[in-house]
Amino acid sequence: QVQLIESGGGLVQAGGSLRLSCAASGRTVSTRGMGWFRQVPGKEREFVAGIIWSDGNTYYGDFVKGRFTISGDNAKNTVHLQMNSLKPEDTAVYYCAARALSRKSAFGTYYPISVANEYDYWGQGTQVTVSL
């Protein structure tokens, strides 16, 4: 069984920074890409950022506007999210996600990276709270 373990969440003041990390453990799995989503109560899970290992391309939700940076290591199945200039509206539970390499896509190497059900593995989430 594959587990994704997130770390780095917490409480920060507006304008501050946090770095989230996610690592895969358990059964060895090859992934095509990894990403971060977030969710607040009563709302759907929202795409934050994603990375595709084959070319290193990164993608971000529109609200990020240059504040966040995703990075990672394909060989280690680890991904990080550096979040700067945090705002109270960034408060949410942040989830790490991974897409299995074995899962086929109509788009070849690529897949709808911002769509939650395109991912096969999920972490349990880490709370990020941004205060005024």
How far is Cα 49 from Cα 71, in angstroms, rounded to an integer?
10
With tokens 């200039």, the residue in question is 85
- 68-73 contacts: CB < 8 A, separation 24 or more? 70/35, 70/36, 72/34
Count CB atoms within 10 A of the CB of residue 76.
9
Query: What tens-digit pLDDT sequence spans the chain (132 residues)?
Result: 789 999 999 999 999 999 999 999 877 788 999 999 999 999 999 999 999 999 999 999 999 999 999 999 999 889 999 999 999 999 999 999 999 999 988 888 889 999 999 999 999 999 999 999
For residues 129 and 10, the answer to whether their CB atoms sit within 8 Å is yes
Nearest residue to 81 (alpha-carbon basis) of 25, 35, 13, 12: 35
